[in-house]
Each structure stands twice: as C-alpha cells, then as structure tokens.
Amino acid sequence: MSKSNKDINTVLASASKLASYNMFLQLSFRVLTFILNAFVLRHVTKETLGVVNVRLLLLYSTILFMSREAFRRACLSSRDDVADGEKDIEKNVKWKQTINLLWCMVPVGVVWTIFLVYCWRNLFENPDPAEIPHYPLAVVVFGCCACLELIAEPLWVLAQVFLFVKLKVVAEGLAILIKCLVTVSLVVAYPHWGLVSFCIAQVSFSITYICAYYGYFIWFIKSKKSKQSDDFPLHDVNQLFPQLDSNKDEKLIDSSTAKLSLSFFKQSVLKQILTEGERYVMTILNVLSFADQGVYDVINNLGSLAARFIFLPIEESFYLFFAKTLKRGAEAKQQPMEEIVAVTKVFGCLLRLVVIIGAVILSFGVPYSHLLLDLYGGTTLSSGPGPMLLNWYCLYVLAIAINGTTECFVFAVMDQNDLDKYNKKMLLFSILFLSCSYYLTKAIGSVGFIIANCLNMIARILHSVFYINRYYSSFQSITSPLLGLIPGIPVILTLCLSSILCMVSQAFFCCSKGLLLRVLHVTIGAVCCIFTAAVIWFTETDVVQFLKDQFLSKYFQKKKAE
C-alpha cells in the first residue's frame, strides 16, 4: 500500500524534528564533555584520562554497539501495511514479537560483557597499579553498566518508531548532566580516588538513563494519552516486557526481522571496528602510551564535535525517514513515484547541506586549530602533534559528513542479500583500515590514525556512490541525488579564498605574538565566515529552502504559536 503525500510529509517533518533535538542533545553532550575534559585535565593525570576515555569507554561502547545496533536497525526498518480488517490484531502481534526480539539483546549483552571484561582484564596490558589503582574494578563496573542499560533498549526503539522526539533528549541529557556533576564533585573532593570517581559517575549515568525511559513509558501507558492514541500498540505496562504465553500458531519473534538482525549484526561488528579502530589499535597493540592516548582522545573529542553534533543526528534521523518511506530491497523504478521523487529531492538537498557544512569546517578549521588548542589546553595541546592532528581531523569531518549521509540511504534500501555482500566488503575495509592504522602510526605517530580513517572513509564513500548510482540507473526520469555532492562554483571559490586569507593571517598574527594580534586573527576569520555565509545564502537557494522547511520553520512556527 502506497503512502500518501501527507504521510511522507509527516514522517519527514518528524525526522527533521528528531534531527534538531538530537543535534541539541549532541551539542549539550559535547559541550559538557569539552568543559569536563578542560577541568579534569587540571585535576587528574594524562594517564588516568587516557585509561578512562580510551580503554574503559571503549569497553563500554563496544558492549553496547555489539549488543544493540543490529536489533535497533532491524526493528526500525519499515514494514508493509496489513489488511484493514486485520490491522489492529496484526499490529499487536507484530509488536509483541518485536518486543520479544528486542529483549534478546539482554542475554547477548551478558555474553559480550563476560567475554570483553575478561579480555580487558587479562589479555590486554593493564596500567601500573601504583600510578592508576583500581583498574580491574573499573573494568567490571563499566562493563556491567553497559549491560544494564540494555534493559531500556525496547523502550528506546518504541520512542524512535512512535517519534517521541523529546524523550531521548531529556533522558540522555539528564543522565549526561548528572554524570558530569558527579565526576566534577568527586574529582575535586576526593582526587585520590582516581578511577573510582569515574566508576561512580558512570553508574549514576546508567541509573538515570534507565529510570528516565521506564518512568516516562509507565506514566504514558497509565495515562489517558496511550488509550487515546490509535497507533500506539501497548496499553499495559507488562507489555513492555517479554511475553511468552503465545498461541501455538503464533511465533514468539518475527523470523524475517530476526534474520535481518543477524545480517545487521555481521555488519555491526565490522562497523564498530571501523568506527573505533584507532582505539582498538591503541588497546590491543599498545602503539601509544596511556599519556599519549589521553592527549589524542582530548583532540579527538574536540575534532569530532561537529561530526557528532551535526552529522550523526542527521544520519540517525534521516535513516528513519528513508527506511519508513521506501520499500527495502526494491529498485527505484519499483517504488511509488510520489515517494521516490520526494526521497530523491530530500536526499540531494541533504547531501549538498552536509558537504557545505563539512567544507566550511575544513576551510576555517585548518587556520584556527593551533589557536583553539592553545586556548583550550595551553602548550600541552598546542605544542607537538596537536595542531597537525586537528588539521587532519577537519578533513576527516568532511569525509564523515559524506559517508554518513550516503550510507544512511544505502542501508535503508538494501535487502538482506545486499547487506550480506556488503558485510564481506566491510571485512576488507576493516583489514585495510587496521593495517593502515598500525603502520602509519608506527611511521608518523598519532596523526597516522586520522589519515587511516580518511582513507577508510573515502573507500566507503566510493562504494556507496557506486551503489546509489546503480540504484537510480534504471530510473532515467529522475536526476541523481549524487549531484548534491558538488557545491556551486561561487561557494567553492569563496571557501578557497577565505581559507587562504585565514592561513596568511595565522602566519603573521598567531599564535605567540600577543593578545591584540590574536584578536585581529579572529576578526579576519569572522569577516571571512560572514562573507561565506552570505554567498551560501544567496547562491545555494535549494539548500537554504530545505533548511528553512525542515529545521527552521518548526522553530518559528512554535514561537509564533506561543
């Protein structure tokens, strides 16, 4: 059954709103982390920071990603509509099966937790207990926190599917805020506790996160809102948990979704290696000291601010739009005309938008990376490889922008066979990336991690471009959205000119030549940035209109209503 234009617009509006809220969440998280790192750097050693931000958080993120990512993607994919006469019954059965499947990630998480905690404690190099005590305890605490958070995953999926867009922001934002406050308080009051302070802060995050989700859904189900909603399938708190009392003819889980989860799981293992590859190389091969890992992680967090604040929320939200609008596994010519036209227009504008944002970050990030690091961490960060790391990270951000947007479309339309084929290619990407990371880092230091990431992203972008081009090749009447990868000539020329002027300004006025010259350097960059924004506004009309329609209009409509 084809979706109406109204349904498409509703999903698109909700996806855009979700992206806006997620951007706010990511911004809040990164700003708090940014401030926290600047504060913690002055109260703990670089070795402790490296152990927490690289070793322990890698364990935490690995358990979560391996346990839940495949289930998330499979259960968020669109389903065919059911017959009108069986709509309510079929919907309840499918959601019962979906909830049961989502709870399968808990035993999966337990297995991953036991295995990875053992590896972290016994197979990988441990820090010196005299310098960093309580490391074995910290590994167990971080692993258990990750496993514990999986009990909130069925509620996370429900919130995504039914577009409870504010819940994620409130739950994660509140948990992050409490974690930061606990960390700062304990580091100041009990500096000798070391890793114990970070363990207590992580436990506070997990408890707050779980309580926020369960508190909201228990309130929602017991209130009149759930009963008034025709779409929301659960009307009893017990339905949030596994239901094993099914009829003989009724399956406990949907087999097709389970198979799709398995395909995504194979892909998730490889994607996690590619996403956190440099940390795995640091942890397993020990190519950098814990102090160097701490410095690298601070610069990595700083460099990824834009990527996580802007591009990751866009990728997550518009994957939901593509998956709910298009039929998985069908070619472009097999999709309803109204839907493929709408998706193509959105996809093209989205590509152009993220490319422009990434290009702006690259153009202005390179000439101002040294000044930023000097202001943030002093000579500890601005001397040595820090500025070069951040320069390469600016290029990496542009690659992330393109890869994330193209892959969110590709993963939304691939069928299971295509996903299985891609998993094999991802294995090749993983091997090449890890090899490049190891040898480049041995040769040129920590900058090698960023260069290896750039090469990996370029390979994945090329794969996505070929797939999208083939997807649209049978539909000649529609302009390929890949044209959005190339900004207009005025924008390209303006960015190049601005970057050159700012680099000249850096050479003459920054960064050890006095406060007034620094201010002049910043002023030149601000003028160039304003001029660039004006050129984009007047020449990239389609992108500006897309930005207004999908993001800004909701804000102004809300203000007007108030």
Per residue in 487-537, pLDDT tens? 989 999 999 999 999 999 988 887 776 788 888 989 999 999 999 999 999
User: What is residue 320's predicted lDDT score, i.e. its pLDDT?
Assistant: 78
CA distance 457 to 506: 29
Handedness of CA 299, 300, 301, 304 (dihedral sign): positive
Q: Could you state, in order of their start, the residue ranges of all structural domains in the chain?
A: 44-239+254-262
Percent of the chain past pLDDT 70, that is, above it, reads 83
List helix spans (H) across 190-276.
195-222, 224-228, 255-275
User: What is residue 141's predicted lDDT score, i.e. its pLDDT?
Assistant: 97
CA distance 395 to 510: 22
Q: For the chain, what is the mean pLDDT? A: 81
Listed in order, strand segments (DSSP E) in 228-383 are none
The amino acid occupying position 123 is L
**Greatest mean pLDDT among 25-29, 89-93, 317-321, 406-410:** 406-410
Residue in 395, 407, 324, 311 with CA at minimum distance from that of residue 353: 311
Q: Are 377 and 420 spatial neighbours (Cβ–Cβ below 8 Å)?
A: no
Eight-state DSSP code of residue 104: T
Q: Which residue has the tokens 């230091």?
A: 445
Pair of tokens at residue 218: 């228990």
| CB-based contacts of 372, cutoff 8 Å, min separation 6 | 302, 390
CA distance 394 to 304: 9
CA distance 350 to 352: 5
Residue in 79, 73, 68 with CA at minimum distance from that of residue 152: 68
Q: Most distant CA pair in the chain: distance in Å?
A: 79
Eight-state DSSP code of residue 327: P
Residue in 104, 154, 100 with CA at minimum distance from that of residue 265: 104
C-alpha distances out from residue 26 to 63, 127, 169, 553, Å: 21, 31, 9, 21
Per residue in 170-200, pLDDT tens? 888 889 889 988 988 898 888 888 899 999 9
Pair of tokens at residue 79: 């389903």
541 exposed, middle or buried (CB, 10 Å; 0-12, 13-18, 19+)? exposed
Instruction: Give the model's confidence band at 562: pLDDT under 50 very low, under 70 low, under 90 confident, else very high.
Output: very low
pLDDT of 91 strictly over 70 = no
Handedness of CA 445, 446, 450, 456 (dihedral sign): positive
